[in-house]
Structure 1
Amino acid sequence: MSDAHYEATYLVETPLPLEAVAEVMAGEQSCGTFTRVEGETDELRERASANVVAIRDLGEVAQPSVRSSWLDRKGLSTSSRRGEVVVRFPIANVGVNLSTLAATVAGNLFDLGEVTGLRLEALKLPSAYRKQYPLPQHGIAGTRRLTGVTQGALIGSIIKPNVGLRSEEIASLVARLCAAGLDFIKDDEIAANPVHAPLSTRIPAVMAAVRRHQDRTGKHVMVAFNITDETDAMRRHADLVAKESGTCVMASLNWCGFSSIETLRRSTDLVIHGHRNGYGALSRHPGLGIGFRAYQTLWRLAGVDHMHVHGLGGKFAQADDEVVESAKDCLTSLCDADDRVMPAFSSGQWAGTVEQTYSAVNTSDLLFMAGGGIMAHPGGPAEGVASIREAWRAVEAGESIAGARAKHRSLADAFSFFSEH
């Protein structure tokens, strides 16, 4: 692959010959349409057309993933086959334009009549092209520097109850969580700027609690304020966080869109914590949508520093191997610079999921978040944090969790309580 092209890998499902459908895909997303048109010269096609560079037949499927009225009209509703298709696109067709890059690799292809399923799996970008987009402003190293956590996993929690608490109540809870020993605290994705706890009062109240804790202990706890909103409001919210000595903001990526996150990245030096809520609508069907490898590539081009990957043994539908691969994708550079982002593990996490997490990803360069796993601990939040920290200490030292449980009450109590839930 030259520096003038990028490649997209797809899972394609169709009753038609894979080779024919792959050519339709390449034409539809570059300079072609269903028939050659005036002005579509050989020189233009040579310069602007996308090309199919690989096809791998994956065999027949039991039934089509979705129905196609186009195939019905053609009388072609027979059994479908799946295949992996790699298409190479000219960078010149897109330029440095993230929204158009996404529209090219994940746009009308999903509506093609020839397919009964299509999934964007991966994007491969030349290093020079990737570096024309923002690199993470902070990423792993910057997050460690701002929190003072030089080694080991960062331990975090989420404001619970998700919504309903008033600003002063949230500030009181944050003070308690800071005292419990957390490195990171975040808002829930559905708690952005509610009437009962507007950001205009919540940010100053919470950061006053964080600063008091820092004055006592020297530790600055990172708080990810959910500033999800329209673009101008997000910028105002981020400015207030910075004014109050905050270090992080959170946004619901799918609902803000690429342009909002790109604008936010240009307008603030804060850490951007990328929350992927809604991603299941794009990915949960194995034959449709966008796989996480491609998804996180696009959002990393927007400039996020953290990406949610869900959690092992958690409460959501993703299989553990998908969670692990997602984390590894975040921890893999896309170019010859360090553009890794910190994977954020969340959803049903507690001390009992630490061992399998560390064994699977083999690193502590991650954010391990537990809501109920900390705040529902029978000994209270401080014991919840202690149980998770002890679990991480044990696995990083190569010790057994069973042995650690015998020596540490907080860990033993966590297993006694959460194993039954």
Structure 2
Amino acid sequence: MTPDRLEADYLIETPLDPAKVAEVMAGEQSCGTFTRVHGETDDLRARARAVVERIEELPAADTPSLPNSWLERKKQPGPWRRAKVTISFPTANIGANLPTLAATVAGNLYDLGEVTGLRLESVRVPAAYRAGFDMPRHGVAGTRRLTGVAEGALVGSIIKPNVGLSAEETGELVGQLCAAGLDFIKDDEISADPVHAPLAERIPAVMARVRRHQDRTGKHVMVAFNITDETDAMRRHADLVEREGGSCVMVSLNWCGFSAVQTLRRSTGLALHGHRNGFGAFSRHPMLGIGFDAYQVLWRLAGVDHMHVHGLQGKFAQPDAEVIDGARACLTPLTDGGDDRVMPAFSSGQWAGTVPVTWDAAGTDDLLFMAGGGIMAHPDGPAAGVASIRQAWAAVRAGTSLPDAAQSQPELKRALDFFGAKP
């Protein structure tokens, strides 16, 4: 990759020659279309056209992954050839413009008549181009500073019930969770500014408990308030969180969009907790959409500090390998020599028993380990649930199995017995 070009990797499926389809992709997403047009000089093409860098053909499929009226009209038969394709784009075509970057590396490609499957797998940007975009304000190191957690995974939970609690009831619950020993508490993605607990009331009610706990213990618990809304409202909500002494806000990335999140990033010094709800619509089909590696690059350019990756052995559809790759991607700088790492947030079905596989996969405890039922449903209460998770993390860092560690730690033993750990 050269300093003036970015690269994108794709997986494509087509009954045509993959090399010719790759050229169509390059032309469609730069200076051309399906054929050379008036004004498209050789000089212009040399300066502005995308370039097919690599093609690796894969085993073909017997049937197409997706319907395609264009190919049906042509009565184009299979086999349905698959290939990995790498295309480079001149950064000058795009500038430091995140929505246009997304439109360039994805955009109309999904609608091309030549393909019966297309998936954006990864994006790589040169250092000079990356410098034109937002950085995380806090990332891994800053999140540790804000919470006072110098080592070990940050243990978090989610406010449940996720909707229905009043502002005061939410505040009371947060006070209990603070007392239980959590580092991090977040709203659910569907609880933003409801009538029964508007943010104007909920933020002061919650932060009163956070400040009270901090006065007693010296510990600042990070609360990620879900401020998902239209842009001006998000900025107002973030300002209130800051005035109340908070340190973090959460946004539903896919529904706010790149521009809104960039505007929010530039208007607040709070940590931005990026929730990816809806990502399955973009990613679950293996021959369509966008893989998490490419997805997290785009959102990191918007300046988020945390990114959800789901959980290992959790309740959602993603395989563990995808979760592992996602966490490692978040913890890898986008360019050599920089530190724009963001903290991966593990959630969904997590408890003390999923700590070993998380440690083995991530190879680090620079992560948010969030458990709802794994804490709140512990038979001895939330404080014991938090303790069981901390004991599990201490065990794996020391190279001790959970059953061995549980012999001297009743909270961990109760968790293993109750939730059904397997040796």
Could you tell me which amino acid in structure 1 is paired with residue 389 of structure 2?
Answer: I
Residue 158 of structure 2 contacts residue 371 of structure 2 at CA under 8 Å; is this kept in 1? yes
Secondary structure, in 3 states, of the residue corresponding to 1:407?
A: coil
CA deviations over 1:324-373 (Å, ceiling 9, x no partner) = 00000000000221000000000000000001100111100000000111
Asked if residue 270 in structure 1 is aligned to residue 275 in structure 2, the reply is: no
Could you tell me which amino acid in structure 2 is paired with residue 367 of structure 1?
Answer: L
Could you tell me which amino acid in structure 1 is paired with residue 97 of structure 2?
Answer: N
Corresponding residue of 2:184: 184
Asked if residue 157 in structure 1 is aligned to residue 157 in structure 2, the reply is: yes
Secondary structure, in 3 states, of the residue corresponding to 1:57?
A: strand
Secondary structure, in 3 states, of the residue corresponding to 1:101?
A: helix
Corresponding residue of 2:234: 234
Corresponding residue of 1:42: 42
Corresponding residue of 2:372: 371
Secondary structure, in 3 states, of the residue corresponding to 1:216?
A: helix
- Residues in 2 aligned to 1:126 and 1:34: alpha-carbon distance in whole angstroms: 28
Counterpart mapping for 1:233-312 below 5 A: 233-312=233-312
Residue 63 of structure 2 contacts residue 78 of structure 2 at CA under 8 Å; is this kept in 1? no
Counterpart mapping for 1:99-110 below 5 A: 99-110=99-110
CA deviations over 1:184-221 (Å, ceiling 9, x no partner) = 00000000000101000000000000000000000000
Asked if residue 382 in structure 1 is aligned to residue 383 in structure 2, the reply is: yes
- Residues in 2 aligned to 1:39 and 1:14: alpha-carbon distance in whole angstroms: 30
- Residues in 1 aligned to 2:135 and 2:338: alpha-carbon distance in whole angstroms: 9
Equivalent pairs, count: 421
Could you tell me which amino acid in structure 2 is paired with residue 401 of structure 1?
Answer: L
Secondary structure, in 3 states, of the residue corresponding to 2:359?
A: helix
Corresponding residue of 1:118: 118
Could you tell me which amino acid in structure 1 is paired with residue 407 of structure 2?
Answer: A
Residue 353 of structure 2 contacts residue 421 of structure 2 at CA under 8 Å; is this kept in 1? no
Residue 420 of structure 1 deviates from its aligned partner by 8.4
- Residues in 1 aligned to 2:261 and 2:90: alpha-carbon distance in whole angstroms: 25
Asked if residue 53 in structure 1 is aligned to residue 91 in structure 2, the reply is: no
Corresponding residue of 1:221: 221
Corresponding residue of 1:315: 315
Secondary structure, in 3 states, of the residue corresponding to 2:262?
A: helix
Corresponding residue of 1:353: 354
Could you tell me which amino acid in structure 2 is paired with residue 90 of structure 1?
Answer: P
- Report % sequence identity: 69
Counterpart mapping for 1:92-103 below 5 A: 92-103=92-103
Residue 157 of structure 2 contacts residue 184 of structure 2 at CA under 8 Å; is this kept in 1? yes
Could you tell me which amino acid in structure 1 is paired with residue 148 of structure 2?
Answer: G
Residue 66 of structure 1 deviates from its aligned partner by 0.3
Corresponding residue of 1:333: 333
**Which stretch has the larger CA shift, 409-418 or 224-233?**
409-418
Could you tell me which amino acid in structure 2 is paired with residue 388 of structure 1?
Answer: I
Residue 87 of structure 1 deviates from its aligned partner by 0.3
Corresponding residue of 2:3: 3
Secondary structure, in 3 states, of the residue corresponding to 2:223?
A: strand
- Residues in 1 aligned to 2:128 and 2:36: alpha-carbon distance in whole angstroms: 33
Could you tell me which amino acid in structure 1 is paired with residue 234 of structure 2?
Answer: M
Runs of at least 4 residues off by over 4 Å:
none
- Residues in 1 aligned to 2:45 and 2:225: alpha-carbon distance in whole angstroms: 48
- Residues in 1 aligned to 2:414 and 2:61: alpha-carbon distance in whole angstroms: 48
CA deviations over 1:81-135 (Å, ceiling 9, x no partner) = 1100000100110000000000000100000010000000011110111121111
Secondary structure, in 3 states, of the residue corresponding to 1:118?
A: strand
- Residues in 2 aligned to 1:197 and 1:65: alpha-carbon distance in whole angstroms: 45
Secondary structure, in 3 states, of the residue corresponding to 1:242?
A: helix
- Residues in 1 aligned to 2:185 and 2:397: alpha-carbon distance in whole angstroms: 23
Secondary structure, in 3 states, of the residue corresponding to 2:407?
A: helix
Q: Mind listing any 5+ residue stretches in structure 1 that lack a counterpart?
A: none
- Residues in 1 aligned to 2:420 and 2:284: alpha-carbon distance in whole angstroms: 27
Could you tell me which amino acid in structure 2 is paired with residue 339 of structure 1?
Answer: D
- Residues in 1 aligned to 2:391 and 2:183: alpha-carbon distance in whole angstroms: 15
Secondary structure, in 3 states, of the residue corresponding to 1:120?
A: strand
Q: TM-score, normalised by structure 2?
A: 0.98
Could you tell me which amino acid in structure 2 is paired with residue 316 of structure 1?
Answer: F
Q: TM-score, normalised by structure 1?
A: 0.99
Secondary structure, in 3 states, of the residue corresponding to 1:168?
A: helix
Could you tell me which amino acid in structure 2 is paired with residue 392 of structure 1?
Answer: W
Could you tell me which amino acid in structure 1 is paired with residue 402 of structure 2?
Answer: I
- Residues in 2 aligned to 1:381 and 1:81: alpha-carbon distance in whole angstroms: 53
Corresponding residue of 1:172: 172
- Residues in 1 aligned to 2:147 and 2:421: alpha-carbon distance in whole angstroms: 34
Q: Mind listing any 5+ residue stretches in structure 2 that lack a counterpart?
A: none
Could you tell me which amino acid in structure 1 is paired with residue 344 of structure 2?
Answer: P
Residue 27 of structure 1 deviates from its aligned partner by 0.3
Residue 49 of structure 1 deviates from its aligned partner by 0.4
Residue 258 of structure 2 contacts residue 302 of structure 2 at CA under 8 Å; is this kept in 1? yes
Secondary structure, in 3 states, of the residue corresponding to 1:304?
A: coil
- Residues in 1 aligned to 2:356 and 2:421: alpha-carbon distance in whole angstroms: 18
